[in-house]
Amino acid sequence: MQIVAPITFLLFVSAPACSQTNNYEFNDSHFHLTNNIQEGPNIHEFLNMMGTKAGRVAIFGVPLQQQWSNRTDGDRAPTYYLHSDAPLYYYSFTDASIAMAYRSLTKEQQARFDPMITGFNPTDMYAADHIRRVLDTFPGVFTGIGEFVVHKEFVTAKIPGEVASLRNPALDRVLDFAAEVGLIVILHNDIDIPFASTVTKPDTEPAYLNEIKALFKRHPNTTIIWAHTGLGRIVVPATKHLALIEAILRDPDFRNVYTDISWDEVAKYIVATPEATKQWADLIQRYPDRFLFGTDSAAPTDQSKYLKVFYQYDPLWKALDPETSRRVRLSNFERLFDEARRRVRTWESTHKSALTP
């Protein structure tokens, strides 16, 4: 794949040493420092929220800005994508904002974060070029891309222009480039349409299952974390959801695919009943290296809000054996993100663009 090489203005910065986090309770594979209007805590304030609980965090902004349309909302300023009928638009500056926040930290503090690139439009054939420009402008900073969205309830319909698709060559170009560089990918794609159980037969295959499996198969060299196992606010786990996820995890064609159990909307399904928790625990224990915990917290204002989802999962942590719990909470993150850091820093060191005077 040919990517347009941009001019870079900053010197390469070596990656801080990786920090292992056995003394912490979890690593967070899915955290938004900002919300849908690009507001959030200062990264130093967030470090205080992490405290002695969170060791390392995959940190990113929100790629979609909620427009404040006076015609639509008047003086009532929306702060969330469900607060307005006005559209969302891609906000590329989020990547620079995250990079500069990261660079404000000491080397020791930086070792606790893995910044992610997310401010790109996955329908744009130039999206991969945006990702390369970010790496060239902020060397030594980023570990991966995401969380970015293809199909997501309510969100997709609010973005003007071309609708994102799992079949779009622009998305293939992004994932090809991620494989070349070693960038880890966090992809949000609902497994089904909203309210599927009310409009389809119980045994109907989820709308996007075959398409996302085809995407995974096209990109065997890209490390992909499928956010939320494809679930959402109103994309609920179907009767055979766990069987569908297990079929992917046991298929050697998808050995590059992992999934996270981030978001309180997902946690509510997993801990809804003791039976549900046991079913999920049994699945996770059969594939202990393929699941990661994440909060999916967005711009928390205090530690209690940040830790909410971690504690929401208490029934699951108790249902898992200690070693599996440790892998999901801690070591799977370290293994995947350490490898991504190493590969990205190596790629950066061998692809430095000529510096301008």
CATH code of residue 109: 3.20.20.140
Q: How many domains is the chain built from?
A: 1
Query: How high does pLDDT run on average in the chain?
Result: 92
Write the pLDDT tens digit of every residue in 308-334: 999 999 999 999 999 999 999 999 999
> Per-residue pLDDT for 91 more than 90?
yes
More confident call, 79 vs 256: 256
pLDDT at 15 over 70: no
In-domain check, residue 2: no
Tell if the pTM clears 0.75, that is, is over it.
yes
Query: Does position 355 have pLDDT exceeding 70, yes or no?
Result: no
Token couple for 308: 């909410």
Rounded to whole angstroms, the Cα distance separating 90 from 121 reads 6
pLDDT score at 94? 97
Angle at 292 between CA 176 and CA 131, to 5 degrees: 30
Asked which of 100-104, 155-159, 208-212 is least confident by mean pLDDT, the reply is: 155-159
Q: 């910044």: which residue's tokens?
A: 115
Identify the pLDDT of residue 239.
84
CA–CA gap between residue 277 and residue 254 (Å, rounded): 25
pLDDT of residue 18: 45
- Domain-located, residue 24: no
Please tell me the predicted confidence (pLDDT) of residue 254.
Answer: 98
Confidence grade of residue 352 (pLDDT, cut at 50, 70, 90): confident
- Cβ contact 31:158 at 8 Å: no
Q: Could you tell me if residue 220 is inside a domain?
A: yes
Question: How distant, in Å, are the alpha carbons of 203, 242, 276, 285, 325 from that of 282?
Answer: 23, 10, 10, 5, 12
Give the separation between CA 177 and CA 1, rounded to whole angstroms: 8
Closest CA to 268 of 260, 277, 255, 278: 277
- Residue 226's domain spans which residues? 32-350
- Separation CA 107–CA 103 (nearest Å): 9
Instruction: Give the pLDDT of residue 196.
Output: 79
Q: For residue 20, what pLDDT is reported?
A: 53
Range scoring the smallest mean pLDDT among 35-39, 93-97, 172-176, 245-249 = 35-39
* 245 pLDDT more than 50: yes
Within-domain flag for 357? no
Residue 129, classed as helix, strand or coil, is helix
Q: What is the pLDDT of residues 21-67, one digit of tens each?
A: 569 999 999 999 999 999 999 999 999 999 999 999 999 999 999 99
In a domain, 270, yes or no: yes
pLDDT higher than threshold 60 for residue 113: yes
Q: How is residue 265 written in tokens?
A: 């909307």
pLDDT at 354: 42
- Give domain status of residue 245, yes or no: yes
Residue 14 falls inside a structural domain: no
Question: Encoding tokens for residue 57?
Answer: 């965090």
- Which residue has better confidence, 5 or 57? 57
- pLDDT for residue 22: 62
Q: Which residue has the higher pLDDT, 234 or 221?
A: 221
Mean pLDDT for the stretch of residues 11-25: 56
**356 assigned to some structural domain:** no
